[in-house]
Amino acid sequence: MTFQTTEPPFRFRQGTRPLLISMPHVGTHVPPALAARFTDEARQVPDTDWHLERLYDFADELGASVLVATHSRYVIDLNRPPDGASLYPGQSVTGLCPVDTFDDTPIYAAGDVPDDDEIAARREAIWHPYHAKLTEELARIKAQHGIAALWDAHSIRSVLPRFFEGKLPDLNLGTGKGISCDASLAKTLLGIAESAPGYTGVLNGRFTGGYITRHHGQPAQRVHAVQLEMTQSSYMQEALPFDYLPDVAAGVQPHVRRMIEAVLAFVEAQRG
């Protein structure tokens, strides 16, 4: 199978302060020829990180740069290593070019999953440009400010038996088990999450940060990266039609903003 797309691999807005917010799983575009191979369920792209641009609508006001994926994670998962290696060895995961949904149902109706050549074409068209822009912007921020922060924004259904038991905590911070950002910053962020009334928070629990956080976070090189995996029940409907719920989102949004402001305060205090 060949792969072609007419959509750009990302949208990008450059900010003025030393923070880049990445949203690698918000994309919903599936090229028509590929969508034709999907099941009816998969064409709904249910495993999208829905509405994060709206939830983070304060990003421009705070001066952050924002990098937003356009294609569905079913086309290619931008938060996986380019070689498809598992982020959580021994646990159930979806791949670089997934063949099953979070509910463990097939994505491809006739079983015609992508072969190595098709995966390579998707990687060239979408994965590499996204990561090149991510690397370029972090380098620009560091050159301008002497330090840079990366916030990798995610959301997921709160109950997914394939990946975890019971209900997921609401605010799941990941720092690659401590390797991707300064420990004091992680502690500050966890304090904000744990003190948010009505929400639960954890650091390096079920989700410790994916490829983006682990690869780009290099505190010794003055680049600090954090992933936030939020429960979608905190701000939206977790089932079709996956609507944003403004009254619900209004509860959690201030706490997310406080975390972003804490990241900015930390890096700007250390600018060189």
Task: List, for residues 56-103, the tens digit of each pLDDT value.
Answer: 999 999 999 999 999 999 999 999 999 877 665 556 567 899 999 999
Closest alpha carbon to 259 in 174, 171, 209, 189: 189
How many CB atoms neighbour CB 18 within 10 A? 27
> For the structural domain made of 10-269, what CATH number should be given?
3.40.630.40
What integer best gives the mean pLDDT of the chain?
A: 95
pLDDT at 87: 62
Specify the DSSP element, H or E, that contains 10. strand 10-13
Give the model's pLDDT for residue 172: 97
pLDDT tens profile 165-188: 899 999 999 999 999 999 999 999
Closest among 15, 106, 96 to 60, alpha carbons compared: 15
Write the CB contacts of 136 (distance below 8 Å, at least 6 apart in sequence): none
Residue 113 backbone phi and psi in degrees, to 5: -70, 160
Given this model, what pLDDT does residue 163 score? 83
Residue in the structure block whose two tokens are 């629990």? 205
Q: The whole model's pTM is what?
A: 0.95
- Please report the pLDDT score of residue 271 as a whole number: 80
Q: Rounding to the nearest 10 degrees, give the CA dihedral for residues 170, 174, 178, 184.
A: -60
Tell me the sheet residues that pair with 173.
203, 228
| Dist. CA 85–CA 13, nearest whole Å | 30
Look at residue 83 in the predicted model and tell me its pLDDT: 87
Question: Mean pLDDT per segment of 10 residues, for the chain of length 272 residues?
Answer: 90 98 98 97 97 98 98 97 71 80 94 94 97 98 98 96 90 97 98 97 94 96 98 97 98 98 97 70
Distance of CA 112 to the CA centre of its chain: 27
